[in-house]
Amino acid sequence: MNESENTIHTCQLEVEGGNFNAAGTVATRIKSILKELKMPDDIVRRSAICCYEAEINIVSYAKKGIINLTVWPEKVLIEVDDEGQGIPDIKQAMQQGYSTANQLIREMGFGAGMGLYNITSYSDEFAISSEVDKGTFLKITINKH
Amino acid sequence: MKLSEVKGILEARVFVGEDKLDMEVHTAFGADLMSDVMAFAKAGSLLLTGLTNSQVVKTAASRNIAAIILVRGKEPSTEAIDMAKELQIPILATQYILFETAGILYSKGIVGCLKKVDSDFYK
Amino acid sequence: MKLRDIKEILNADVIVGEDKLDIEVKTAFGADLMSDVLAFAKAGSMLLTGLTNTQVVRIANVLDIAAIILVRGKKPPPETVSLAKDLHIPILTTKFILFETAGRLYAKGIVGCIEKVESGSERI
């Protein structure tokens, strides 16, 4: 079966690096799209949480980023592709509590080293690749439970 | 109340300071913003927080905090544990969220290290 | 309990949502870490926090938080107030510190939106 044939929605949303005021707008948009598509509340909530964390990472560490949303009747795929500083040590970055955030990010209530950890705990499948000074790519899958 | 009672009430795990559980505590402050801890936390209080890095221990030491209570199932980083041992600040960890931790301790007689902050403070 | 009762207990000022004081609230979550709010706060709860930036409102919106209670005498900046108005999310402010706010609400029957977080376990 060709998976792409069964998609019920796809869209591409942009995130501007450094703009803390706009952070979270893509997560908000994705939440309303999924709600309009009548996806189960659990999927809507987990997708919004994962997207929010990904957005904060782009705003904090990248020049810009693209978030691709693909929706199937019982599954959501969020692909995040940013142009930014990248992650030198992914294993370290995945650890709960590890963060390279500056004081500004911390005073905003982020940068406590929970972002990627939250994404892994709220997604069903998670893949990450990164290249220093190029950017980071995340593939987040959320299934109906 | 003794720190050992706090441990019991919160079903907490002691990461640092097993030898200090006889200390008396009467007040607490809860926050995840270190700037607010610096501004408002008082000597001899418990610090309830979800931050787990060594910065918390440094801040607690500078405010003469009696003990750090990590909430929401968090565990201290190894750097935080090492620094807490060196600075002799107990670290306990509870699975209760901050709201429940505060509610339960309050109901047992622990009060805020201050009650209110005047809005003029931030001007 | 109605939001109106919360206002009384906390001697709070209503910054946004004077028309929403009749909503019912039973649970709360308190944190200044946005990732922890995202991870653990539940729909219909009050969010007690010392953070005042627009992110608080956006996250509250994404999570369907019933009302934001700013603690420690914090005042929201104008952009936070205007976003909360747009998104119809009440903001109350109290001078009580978070510990006292939680203690007083707990004593009146408000409980955590969850009780505990299992250490290091799957949290869904």
- How sure is the predictor about A3, in pLDDT bands with cuts at 50, 70 and 90? low
Of C99, C53, C54, the closest CA to residue C72 belongs to C99
Mutation test of the interface with chain C: which of A15, A121, A144, A145, choosing the one with the most C Cβ atoms within 10 A?
A121
In a domain, B30, yes or no: yes
Of B105, B42, B31, B115, the closest CA to residue C101 belongs to B115
CB atoms within 10 A of CB C69: 26
> Helices C54-62 & A25-36, crossing angle to 10 degrees?
20
Whether B93 has a pLDDT exceeding 70, the answer reads yes
In a domain, C121, yes or no: no
In sequence order, which residues have a C-beta less than 8 Å from that of residue A134 and are 6 or more positions away? A83, A86
Pure H helices in chain A = 25-36, 41-61, 90-94, 103-107, 115-122
Mutation test of the interface with chain B: which of A95, A106, A121, choosing the one with the most B Cβ atoms within 10 A?
A106
**Of C95, C112, C120, which is closest to B99 when you measure between CB atoms?**
C112
For A1, which DSSP code? -
In sequence order, which residues have a C-beta less than 8 Å from that of residue C93 and are 6 or more positions away? B119, C12, C13, C15, C69, C70, C73, C74, C75, C76
Residues 4-63 of A with CB under 8 A from B: none
Compute the distance between CA of residue B4 and CA of residue A123 in angstroms, rounded to an integer: 38
A112 φ, ψ (degrees, to nearest 5): -95, 10
**Of C37, C55, C62, which is closest to A48 when you measure between CB atoms?**
C62
Residues of chain A in contact with residue B32, where contact means CB-CB under 8 angstroms, are 109, 112
Average pLDDT, chain C: 95
Q: Judge whether C23 and C67 are in contact, CB under 8 Å.
A: yes
Compute the distance between CA of residue A120 and CA of residue A46 in angstroms, rounded to an integer: 11
Question: How many domains does chain C divide into?
Answer: 1
For residue range A121-135, list pLDDT tens digits in order. Answer: 999 999 999 999 999
In a domain, C118, yes or no: no
Cβ neighbourhood burial of A37 (10 Å; 0-12, 13-18, 19+)? middle
**Per-residue pLDDT, B122:** 80
In a domain, A132, yes or no: yes
**Per-residue pLDDT, C6:** 98
Question: How many domains does chain B divide into?
Answer: 1
Determine the average pLDDT of the residues in B108-117: 96
Average pLDDT, chain B: 96
**Per-residue pLDDT, B118:** 86
**Per-residue pLDDT, C123:** 44
For residue range A5-35, list pLDDT tens digits in order. Answer: 799 999 999 999 999 989 999 999 999 999 9
Whether B123 has a pLDDT exceeding 80, the answer reads no
Number of residues that this document lists for chain A: 145
Closest residue of chain C to A107, computed from CA coordinates: C51
Determine the average pLDDT of the residues in B58-79: 96
**Per-residue pLDDT, C61:** 97
**Per-residue pLDDT, C122:** 43
Compute the distance between CA of residue B13 and CA of residue B31 in angstroms, rounded to an integer: 20
Q: What is the DSSP string of chain C?
A: -BHHHHHHHTT-EEEE-GGGTT-B--EEEE-S-HHHHHHH--TT-EEEES--SHHHHHHHHHTT-SEEEE-TT----HHHHHHHHHHT--EEE-SB-HHHHHHHHHHTT-EESSSB--TTS---
Q: Quick one: how many helices (H) and strands (E) in chain B?
A: 5, 6
Cβ pair A112:B34 closer than 8 A: no
CB atoms within 10 A of CB A40: 12
Coil, helix or strand for B15?
strand
Q: In this structure, what CATH number is given to the domain that contains residue C34? A: 3.40.1390.20
In a domain, B16, yes or no: yes
Cβ pair B50:A106 closer than 8 A: no
- How sure is the predictor about A2, in pLDDT bands with cuts at 50, 70 and 90? low
Q: Does A24 touch chain C (CB under 8 A)?
A: yes
Compute the distance between CA of residue A140 and CA of residue B115 in angstroms, rounded to an integer: 44
Question: How many domains does chain A divide into?
Answer: 1
Residues of chain A in contact with residue C54, where contact means CB-CB under 8 angstroms, are 21
Q: Order the strands of the B46-49 sheet from edge to edge.
A: B13-16, B91-93, B67-70, B46-49, B27-30, B111-112
Q: Quick one: how many helices (H) and strands (E) in chain A?
A: 5, 5
Cβ pair C124:A49 closer than 8 A: no
CA B3 to chain centre: 11
In a domain, B119, yes or no: no
**Neighbour subunits, A (≥3 Cβ pairs < 8 A):** B, C
Q: How far is B19 from chain C (nearest CA, A)?
A: 24
In sequence order, which residues have a C-beta less than 8 Å from that of residue B74 and are 6 or more positions away? A96, A97, B50, B51, B52, B93, C117, C119
Q: How far is C18 from chain B (nearest CA, A)?
A: 20
In a domain, A35, yes or no: yes
**Per-residue pLDDT, A21:** 87
Q: Does C98 touch chain A (CB under 8 A)?
A: no
Compute the distance between CA of residue B63 and CA of residue A31 in angstroms, rounded to an integer: 42
Cβ pair A109:B32 closer than 8 A: yes
In a domain, A1, yes or no: no
In a domain, C108, yes or no: yes
**Per-residue pLDDT, B17:** 98
In a domain, B120, yes or no: no
For C32, the domain range is: 3-112
Compute the distance between CA of residue A130 and CA of residue A62 in angstroms, rounded to an integer: 12
Tell me the CA distances in angstroms from A112 to B38, B42, B90, one per residue in order.
18, 23, 21
- The C-alpha R_g of chain C, in whole angstroms, comes to 13
Q: What is the ipTM of this complex?
A: 0.96
Q: In this structure, what CATH number is given to the domain that contains residue A36? A: 3.30.565.10
Residues of chain B in contact with residue C73, where contact means CB-CB under 8 angstroms, are 116-119, 121-122
For B22, the domain range is: 3-112
For residue range C45-63, list pLDDT tens digits in order. Answer: 999 999 999 999 999 999 9
For A67, the domain range is: 9-143
Q: In this structure, what CATH number is given to the domain that contains residue B49? A: 3.40.1390.20
In a domain, B118, yes or no: no
- How sure is the predictor about A107, in pLDDT bands with cuts at 50, 70 and 90? confident
In a domain, A3, yes or no: no
Residues 87-116 of B with CB under 8 A from C: 93, 95-100, 102-107, 111-116
Question: pLDDT over 90 for what percent of chain A?
Answer: 81
Cβ pair A122:C124 closer than 8 A: yes
